[in-house]
Amino acid sequence: MGKPLFIHKLRLYTRCIMMYSVLIGTVHINTGTFSCQAQPSRINTLIKSLDKAKHDTDRVNIYYSISRLYWSKNADSALLMAGKSLDLAKKIHFEKGIALAYLAKGVALGYKGNWPEALDSHLQCLRISEKLGMEGLSENEYGNIAGLYTSMDDYPKALYYNQQAYKIAIKQKGPARNGIFNLLVNMGEIFKKKGQPDSAIAYNSRALVIAKRIKDPVDMAAAMYNIAENLITNKKYLVANTYLTGALYIAKKAGDDEDVAYCHGGLALTSYYTGKYHLSMLYAQKCLKESKKSGILELIQTAYRVLYLTHQKTGGYKQALYYRNLEIALNDSLKTAEKEKAIKDIQLTYELDKKQAQINLLNKDKIINRKELEKVRLKRDILTGGAILLLLLAMIQFRSYRQKRKLNEQLALQNKNISAQNLQLEELVHVKDRLFSIIGHDLRGPIQTVSQMMNIVKEKSLPQEEHEFWIEKICDTLLMTSKLAENLLYWAKSQLDGIQPNPTCFDVQKVIDQNITLLKQRAAEKKVLITGMEKAGPETVYGDETMIDIVIRNLLENAVKFSKAGDQITVTAEKQENFTVVTIKDNGRGIPAEAQSLIFNKFVSHTTFGTASEKGSGLGLLLCKELVESNNGTLWFESREGIGSSFYFSIPASK
């Protein structure tokens, strides 16, 4: 008679539900078990706190905590709360929250028996925990995934993930040693199911060492029982009996009724196999009583089996038959699900046979119409082939058209870029030519003049009156040359790499007054009067003060340059909406109509002599225009030959 199988008390890692708490962005793991009973008062408190939560991350954690409280009580509610936590965490990209939400979802799906979806959720959690370096959570998820594969009887994968969890766990210290115990027990269970009891004993022995170290009586009893169970498989009944006796003592002392029942069942087996039938019946009766109280059907079945065998051995056939019938009845109830599945398989087979019969009847009609169907099919295939061929040709043509259009667009863009580059090069060449022209003529001439006048001044026989005259001439020429060089440098910089204004709020009236004071003496020498408008307060504008100073000085110098004795120059500043308009007006000789269109042309060098034969470069007005426009303003003029000119420029008023 075959040895009866004994269903032992599973201690899979996945059934030791792990507790988590999120504190300052870090996941802390407590590897101890908890009752998994949701506390209504705690759940209500957490639900109320959702409305008071200040941050979405807090709401993610609250939903997770509610799901955790529902884990073993209401899997659907646990799944709902896990889903809310996951949706919100994804919305705010809270990766730690996403990981914990996947954990909660996986546990809830596991309780519902939906292994594939539970596995997917735990794998999602594992990917994130490894990415974030959350080793505690990664260890737990490796263990959970291993437990799911064990439930699906995929022992190689279960062993792999348990070993990965173990590698992380051995790095931990303190309470984490309990996690190592669970992993070792799980690996022992996997080797037992694979039919390798020696390996199972080895892992459970290592687990027993840890249980003794942390002084956990429940774990000690479980490890000792697991060792004994595998020793029974190896027929080492006396050694198994020793472990079972020790486990029974610890379980009784700890008050663990379930472990006591399991140990009594194991002792019933070892007693039976060593011929101690009286003890075997005694332990079996105790196991039966305790397992009925705890509702452990597998243990009840084992007790019936041992009582049947021992009564048969001792000649109590009537009692043996009684327990045999009880065992068969219980076995039938445990296999009800399998019978129902078998019935469904029979029903499915019947339905398939019925459909096959209908198909056979239809086949007779199909044989009659086969030739016609073949003709129709041939026509259809020809039409389909033609349509596919046309479609391929259209696709090839369309692709060719797209490529051609793309090449044309690229070519047009390249041509446009080349044209823009050519225009820019032309402008740079023009700037270069004009710079060298001015340097070669307008600057070299005054410098040579100064040099000649200096030679005259060096003459020792020169009278004092003539000496002072030439000194004054030298000063005037140097001042003119300095202004020309300043304009030239500013204009060259604006043409080559642009001028970047540094805008601030300043009083433009003050700048006007400074320039009037600066040029009054020179104007007086030509008997020209410069006047400004008196203001009650400052006229504040927003721009680069240095640039605006250059503009006013150039325009004022031009007005003096083209005015004759007795003429008058007026400078005003008037606010108009969001801008201030500065006006420099003179009643000098004006600008000829044919020359007015050339003044702001950067490609044409236009310059004239003043009323006192003053020489210019043609850069002043061009520079003024560019400086005003770089300050978000506009420069324009009105002029009539023989009557005078008015130059205007606008600048943003103070912000």
Which tokens sit at 525? 């020498």
Backbone CA torsion sign across 499, 502, 504, 508: negative
Which tokens sit at 305? 């089996």
Report which DSSP code applies to 307.
H
Note the Cα 96 to chain centre separation in Å. 13
pTM of the model: 0.45
Q: What is the pLDDT of residues 517-567, one digit of tens each?
A: 878 877 888 889 998 877 767 889 999 998 898 899 889 988 888 888 889
pLDDT at 588: 85
Which tokens sit at 12? 């899979």
Alpha-carbon dihedral angle through residues 571, 576, 578, 580, given to the nearest 10 degrees: 0
Q: What is the pLDDT of residues 442-485, one digit of tens each?
A: 555 567 667 777 877 777 677 877 777 778 777 766 776 776 67
Beta strand ranges found along 109-260 (DSSP E): none
pLDDT at 38: 41
Helix axes 176-193, 155-169, angle to 10 degrees: 160
Q: How many CA atoms lie within 13 A of 73 on its CB side?
A: 14
Q: Which residues pair with 22 in a beta bridge?
A: 27
Q: Could you give the CA distance from residue 12 to residue 3 in angstroms, rounded to a whole number?
A: 25
Buried b (16+ CB within 10 A) or exposed e, 624-655: bbbbbebbebebebebeeeebbbbbbbbebbe
Helix axes 40-52, 56-70, angle to 10 degrees: 170
Q: Could you give the CA distance from residue 423 to residue 629 in angstroms, rounded to a whole number?
A: 21
Beta strand ranges found along 405-446 (DSSP E): none
Alpha-carbon dihedral angle through residues 626, 630, 636, 641, given to the nearest 10 degrees: -20
pLDDT at 48: 84
The parts of the chain modelled with pLDDT lower than 70 are 1-39, 172-178, 335-369, 424-446, 448-449, 460, 476-477, 480, 483-484, 486-499, 536, 602-619, 655
Q: Could you give the CA distance from residue 144 to residue 153 in angstroms, rounded to a whole number?
A: 14
Q: Are 211 and 220 in contact (CB under 8 A)?
A: yes
CA distances (Å), origin 326, targets 1, 30, 336: 18, 43, 15
CA distances (Å), origin 294, targets 71, 287, 485: 22, 10, 107
Q: Could you give the CA distance from residue 565 to residue 154 in angstroms, rounded to a whole number?
A: 112
From the list 159, 200, 158, 165, the residue with the least C-alpha distance to 180 is 165
Report which DSSP code applies to 13.
G
Q: How far apart are the first and last CA of the chain?
A: 105
pLDDT at 649: 95
Query: Identity (one letter) of the amino acid at 6?
Result: F
| DSSP β-ladder status, 568-576 and 529-532 | parallel
pLDDT at 564: 87
- Residue partners of 132: CB distance under 8 A and separation at least 6: 95, 96, 99
pLDDT at 249: 92
Alpha-carbon dihedral angle through residues 613, 616, 622, 624, given to the nearest 10 degrees: -80
